Every structure is written in C-alpha cells, then in structure tokens.
Structure 1
C-alpha cells in the first residue's frame, strides 16, 4: 500500500492492532466495524462515545505519548499531515512502526483516503455504501453560489483558507471563499478586513473554537447572513461526509435562513 505522502507500506497480513491519531478517522474505523482492532486513540477521539471510552488514550494529536504507543505494539498507526506533527511520525517510524499518513485537503482526497484505509484493513465492501453516498452528493449541483467567510478561531480571528478540507466542503455546496488566493491555510484577518471583502455570508462553526450566537451578534453588519454551524460536519472526514454535504448545501442555498 502507499499512503497519501507516497510512503510505501508493506504488510504480511491485515493489521490487527491499530493506533489512530486522527479523531475523524477513529470514528471511521469504528464505523467499519474494527472496534476489536483499535488499541490506542487520542484524547480528542470522542466518537462513538461509548466505544472510545474503553480504548487506551495516548494523549493529544500534537503531543502523543510515543513510549505508550510503542508499548501498545501496533502493527499500524493512522495519522494525518495536518493533525499530527512530523517529528512524532518520524520518531515512531524510526522505532520500526508502520504508519499510514493521510493528507486531506478536499472531499475527493478524503474519499480516496477512506477507500485506501478500508482496503488496507480488509473492509472495502463495508466502505462501498459510504463512498457511493459521497459520490452521489458530489454529483448534485449547488443550488446557489455565494461568497463566504468561515471563522475558525478568535483572539486572534482566524479564517478558513482556500486550500483546506473545510473550504472544499463548502465549495462543493456552493460557496466561493472570499479570502484572497493564496491566503494561507488559516490566515489571520481582523473583522474590518473581513468586512472589506463583502462576504454574502459568514459561518461560525462550533469547533475547534466554540462560536456561539453571542459571537454572531457581535458580527452583525459584516455580512447579510451570519450563521452558527456544525464544526464537526465541516471538518471531520469519514462517515459524516454525506450529511455534511447535505447540511451545508441546504444552508448555503438559503433554505435555513
């Protein structure tokens, strides 16, 4: 197998002990029916709640406990280029562990990674309905196009740049990112700078920063529409992709205004 960074992985058998360092992919592994093979996850792997509660935690995505991971003796670690630090991946690989690193900046890349992971773990047939559902959603044309700015953090204010998975989810649903191209993955822009871009809509997801209606009220006047929205649907790739595309297509169409 080859991961998204071009690293070749060789297996003598289907991996049976998996450590996953990516919350959304942990959800996907459980969805594939691999609960018994998952031996380690991060503190941020929170769904499915009942099942992850019983799995050993190896700290966070940015500071995994390498010694604990080694002690778990995984035959596969699943990581992500953005979620996890390169130095941790390099150190774990140097210790002789096999690591699949995903790089997901679009819905198409997410779909390809989900297919590869399923194939690697002997679950291609289980993944097929999800892949087909994603393809069906992508085949639907957006109802309406509009210019959108999506916040990702505040203090300082940070925004979703164009070269990100979240931006591509929105683009598939009819959003044109109003930030400059290129503007970096998550550029810092003050509210006055966002107002100057004249977005049709500002989105305030509840993850990773928990934006609320109070934040929306503070931004009144910066755009005709300001919406609080589901951050996991926007940023988590896996079994929730079809619902994400349905939800944001509906929101951007103006149906929920």
Structure 2
C-alpha cells in the first residue's frame, strides 16, 4: 500500500470493502454503515443527508460515494469545499467488480484483496436452473415499490435464475399498487430485509397464495465482501421458497 490516506465513505458497501481490505484508512462513515460490526468511526449522518461540515472537519483525502445512494448536491458541496470525491456507478455485478477494484486502488490499496477474487469465483460458478421462475421483488411498502430495470439486485437475481416481471419497466424502482402486484402472475415474491425490513409476516399478509422468499437484503443489494457468500445464501433462500 502507498502512503496512508484518510477516507470517508458515504456508502455501506464501500465502507465494508475498505474496512475489510485496509483497516485504518477510514476516518468517517454514515450511520447506515453497519459492517464490519466492530466499526469504530466518526459517524457523519445518512447517505442522503450527510453532515458536510462534519466530513470536511475530518480532513479526508478522499470521499467515496455512489451515484444512486448519494445526492449530487451533497457531492458538489464537498467538492466546493476542496474535497476529492470518487463516485461509483453499480448497476450490474460486473460493474460492481470493476468499481470495487477502482475504489480500492484510489484508496491506495496496491494488491487485489482475496475476497474480491473469491466473489468473482463464486459468481462464475453459479449454474442457474433451466426454467426460471417469474418474480416480483418489492423493496418498499407504503407505497409499494419494486425492482424495475437496470438494477444491481435485479442482475444478481437474473444470474440466479429469477426472471423479474418488471425488469423492462420504464422506471428503475416503479411504484406498483398492491392489487396489481398480486395479479401480475408471479411464481414468486422475493422480499429482502432491507432497505425495507420485510418479515415473514409480510408475505402471507400481502401475497396470499404466492410463494414467498424472504432473503438477505445485504447479500442482494450490497457490493462488497458479502458478494463472496451471496450466491450460496440467496440460492438457498430462493430454493427453500420454491420447494
């Protein structure tokens, strides 16, 4: 590793990636950065409402962010304050691997971490079933929102053999009324436990008569060290629902 730099992360996935790979680089992270569990950093607010003054007070050499998770005005304010900001875009698994490598190199990490190789190997070994089940994938309720086109989580599910009914929707996260979701003809409803914390009670209550897979939101939506376990974890959860 080159000279140690000071990094603030505005993205939980990137926080975990940097913390696992190069402990000691991070000096600040958001309130939502929950992994690793023993992370002891200055908290600088949420992903959508970071405390710009608190970030600049940490004198970071680099702030790492994401075009979807963070707001452009906040990133512009950081740049205006003289802070370097690296913005990632992650909408596919392949893109996630490239952006993780780019981010770690920007943080001064010279050697590719083993977990990143393991994640690529794990996904390369995925053998999706021949006849994919059709699914709706809610990510929020009140109002109901589902995965649409061009999403990282949607790409992971497609690689695991799940065909989203709203994958070709004009919106990336469309709002769909519950009665329409129920009538969509899905074989499966995939309920992650984040960003909305869906529970086992939500499936039977909202989608009677349809198979429901309650899945790990972290393994479905985070792009970091969890990617190495994601095919196994998500595959097991999906298979259990379809038995």
Question: How high is the TM-score relative to the length of structure 1?
Answer: 0.87
In structure 1, the partner of 2:174 is 187
1:49 and 1:88, CA in 2 relative to 1: closer, same or farther beyond 3 A?
same
The question of whether the paired residues in 2 share the 8 Å contact of 1:172 and 1:245 is answered with no
1:127 Cα deviation from its structure 2 partner: 1.9
Write the distance in 1 (CA, Å) between the matches of 2:25 and 2:168.
Answer: 42
Measured after TM superposition, the shift of residue 227 of structure 1 is 1.7
SS in 1 for 2:137: strand
Q: Which residue of 2 aligns with 1:159?
A: 146
| Rounded Cα–Cα distance in structure 1 between residues aligned with 2:127 and 2:110 | 28
Q: How does 1:49-198 map to 2 (within 5 A)?
A: 49-50=37-38, 52=39, 54-144=40-130, 145-179=132-166, 181-198=168-185
- Alignment partners' CA distance in 2, 1:98 and 1:222: 51
Partner residue of 1:26 out of 2, 8, 15? 15
Are 1:237 and 2:223 matched, yes or no?
A: yes
Cα distance in 1 for residues equivalent to 2:230 and 2:157: 9
Which of 170, 192, 200 is the aligned partner of 2:187? 200
Matched, 1:218 2:205: yes
TM-score for both structures, normalised by structure 2: 0.91
2:16 is paired with a residue of what secondary structure?
helix
Separation in 1 of the partners of 2:66 and 2:242?
Answer: 33
Aligned to 1:249: 235
Q: Give the conservation status (yes or no) of the 8 Å contact 1:66–1:88.
A: yes
What is the number of equivalent residue pairs in this alignment?
A: 241
Distance, in Å, in 2 between the alignment partners of 1:132 and 1:24 is: 16
SS in 1 for 2:235: helix
Question: Could you say what secondary structure the match of 2:8 adopts?
Answer: strand
Task: Provide the alpha-carbon RMSD of the alignment.
Answer: 1.9
**Unaligned runs of at least 5 residues, structure 1:** 1-12
